[in-house]
Amino acid sequence: MRPVWDVVWLSDIPWGSLWQRPQQLATRFPPEARILFVEPWTLGHPPSFRPARVAERISRVSFPFLPLHARSRGIRRLAYRAGSSALAAKALFATQRAWARAIRSEIRPGVRRVAVVQNFLARPTLHAWRPDRVVYDMIDAPLHFAPVPPRLIPHWEALLREADLVSVTSEALAALARAGGASTPRLLGNGVEVERFQAARPAGGLPGDPRAPVLGYVGSLHSWFDVPLVTALARAIPEARVVLVGPAHPATREEISRVASSAPNLHWIGPKPYAEIPAIVRAFRVGLIPFRRTPLTEAVNPVKLYEYAAAGVPCVTTRFTEDIGAFGEAARVADTEDAFVAEVRSLLCAAPDPGSLVAFARRHDWDEIARRFAAACLEEAA
C-alpha cells in the first residue's frame, strides 16, 4: 500500500500567474495527496493570507518571500537592500518562520510531508514547515533571473546539498546544479497538454489584417526577449502579422511601444488566460522563440516549444542555449537576424508535416512528466 503524503509546494510564482510547470505538476499529483501551494505575496495578484481552495485537494496561501523579482524597480532595490542586511534578513526570516508555523496548523497532522521547493528563498525557513523530505525542483538559473544579495547565495548552495532530490528541466541546469553542490540532479523537463492544443479551434479576432498569416509568440516578455529581432521580422515580412502574447516587463513594454510606429504589423496583446492559449497558438502559422543568449536563457527549457509543436505549428528559434539539439524536428535554429527572417519565410512557403511536430509533443506530455515527478517525490521515499 502506497503511503500517504501531503505536500508543501513553495513556489516562485503565484497560482494565478502564467499557468506553467508548478500548476501543471501540482494538479497531477496522486489523488490521496493534499497540497498547500505557498506562493509569493506579489503586487497585482490578490493575496490569500489563509489557505484558500483553488483546485481539488489544492489550497493556496500567500507568503512574504523577499521580492527580488518584483516588476517595480523600487521594490526590487528595497528587497536587495533588505537581503544584504544581516539585521533585516534576520527579522524577515523570523517573520517567515512565525507565518509558516501559523499556516502549518492547516496541514493534516500525522501525515508524512514533502516540501517541493521551486523558490530557493524558502530555504532559510524551510525547517519551520517540518518536512520529512525535501525536493528542490530547479526550474531556472535562480542567480541570473534577478540580482541576488551575496549573503543569500549560500542558502541556494545549501539547498542543493541538503535536498533529498534535486530535479532540473535542462542539461544546462543540471551542470549548474552540480557546480552549486548537488550530487546527482535528475532531468525532468517541461511539457505540454497535447490533447488540449489538438482539440482547440484556431482563434479569431487577433489584431491586424485577418487575411495575413500570424507569426506568434506566447510567454513572458522581459530583458531576454529580443525586441529588435522581432521588429526586423515584422518589417521584413509586412504581409504577415507578428502577434506577441504574454505579460511584459515595463521596460520591454516601452521598447515595443517605441517601435510600433515603424512596424504597424507588430502587435502586443498582453497576457491571456491559459484556457485561451491553445486556440491562439492554433492560429499561428509560425511560432517564434526570439531569445537573446544570456546566462538565464542558456538554462531554459521553453514550454512554448512544446505548445507550438502540440498545435502542429513549426517554430523558429535563436540559438539561446547549447541544449538546442534536444529540440529536434520541433524547431529551426537561426544564428543571425537574416537567417531568422529566412527561416520564417521558408516555413510560410512550405510548412512541415504537423504530424511529426505533434509526435514530438506527445513525447513530452505533462501527464507522463508529472507521473515521473510524483514518483520521484513520493514513491521513491517510501
pLDDT tens string 211-231: 999 999 999 999 999 999 999
pLDDT of 346 reads 97
**Predicted local distance difference test score (pLDDT) of residue 145:** 80
DSSP assignments along 200-258, one per residue = PPPP---SS-TTSPEEEEES-BSTTB-HHHHHHHHHH-TTSEEEEES-B-HHHHHHHHH
- In the chain, what are the domains? 5-191+365-381 (3.40.50.2000), 194-362 (3.40.50.2000)
Q: Is 165 helix (H, G, I), strand (E, B) or coil?
A: strand
**What pLDDT score was predicted for residue 382?**
55
Q: With cut-offs at 50, 70 and 90, classify the pLDDT of residue 105.
A: confident
Q: Is 182 exposed, middle or buried (0-12, 13-18, 19+ CB in 10 A)?
A: buried
User: Exposure pattern of 239-276 as b/e (b: 16+ CB <10 Å)?
Assistant: ebbbbbbbbbeeebeebbeebeeebebbbbeebbeeee
- pLDDT, tens only, 298-355: 999 999 999 999 999 999 999 999 988 889 889 999 999 999 999 999 999 998 899 9
Reported as a pLDDT band with limits 50, 70 and 90, residue 152 is: very high
For residue 131, give the 3-state DSSP assignment.
coil
The Cα-based distances of 181 to 134, 137, 161, 189, 305 in angstroms read: 15, 14, 5, 20, 30
Mind listing the pLDDT tens digit for each residue in 106-138?
Answer: 788 888 999 999 999 999 999 999 999 999 999
Phi then psi for residue 25, to 5 deg, are -75, -45
DSSP state of 2: P
Task: Give the pLDDT band of residue 381 (cuts 50, 70, 90).
Answer: low
pLDDT digits (tens, 9 = 90+) for 172-215: 999 999 999 999 999 999 999 999 999 999 999 999 999 999 99
| Distance (Å) of CA 111 to CA 107, 128, 368 | 9, 16, 26
**Residue 157 above 80 pLDDT?**
yes
Residue-wise pLDDT tens digits, 39-86: 999 877 788 989 999 998 999 999 999 998 887 888 889 999 999 999
Find, among 223, 188, 117, the residue nearest to 371 by Cα. Answer: 188
Q: Estimate the crossing angle of helix 227-236 against helix 337-349, to 10 degrees.
A: 50
Taking a C-beta distance cutoff of 8 angstroms, is the pair 191, 210 a contact?
Answer: no
Q: How far apart are CA 280 and CA 284, in angstroms?
A: 7
Per-residue burial over 346-378, b = 16 or more CB atoms within 10 Å of its CB, e = otherwise: ebbeeeeeeeebbebbbebbbeebbeebbebbb
Q: What are phi and psi of 104, to 5 degrees?
A: -60, -25
Please state, rounded to an integer, the average pLDDT across all residues of the chain: 93
| C-alpha dist (Å) from residue 376 to 35, 43, 195, 345, 370 | 16, 34, 25, 43, 10
**Look-up of cell digits 502579422:** 241
What is the spatial distance between Cα 377 and Cα 136, in angstroms, rounded to a whole number? 10
The residues, ordered by sequence, that sit 6+ positions from 212 with a Cβ below 8 Å of its Cβ are 239, 240, 241, 265
Give residues with Cβ within 8 angstroms of 299, minimum separation 6.
Answer: 140, 141, 144, 170, 172, 173, 176, 321
Mean pLDDT of 351-374: 95
In angstroms, the CA 220 to CA 151 distance is 29
What integer pLDDT is reported at residue 325 of this predicted model?
84
Q: What is the mean pLDDT of residues 258-274?
A: 94
Angle at 329 between CA 347 and CA 224, to 5 degrees: 75
Average pLDDT over residues 256-285: 95
- DSSP collapsed to 3 states, 291-338: ECCCCCHHHCCCHHHHHHHHCCCCEEEECCCHHHHHHHHHEEEECCHH
Task: Give the integer Cα–Cα distance in Å for 252 and 180.
Answer: 31
pLDDT of residue 1: 47
Check residue 3 and give its pLDDT: 65
What is the number of residues in the chain? 382
Q: Which residues pair with 10 in a beta bridge?
A: 38, 117
Q: DSSP letters along 68-89, please? A: TT-SSHHHHHHHHHHHH-HHHH
Nearest partner of 198 among 276, 274, 272, 278, judged by Cα: 278
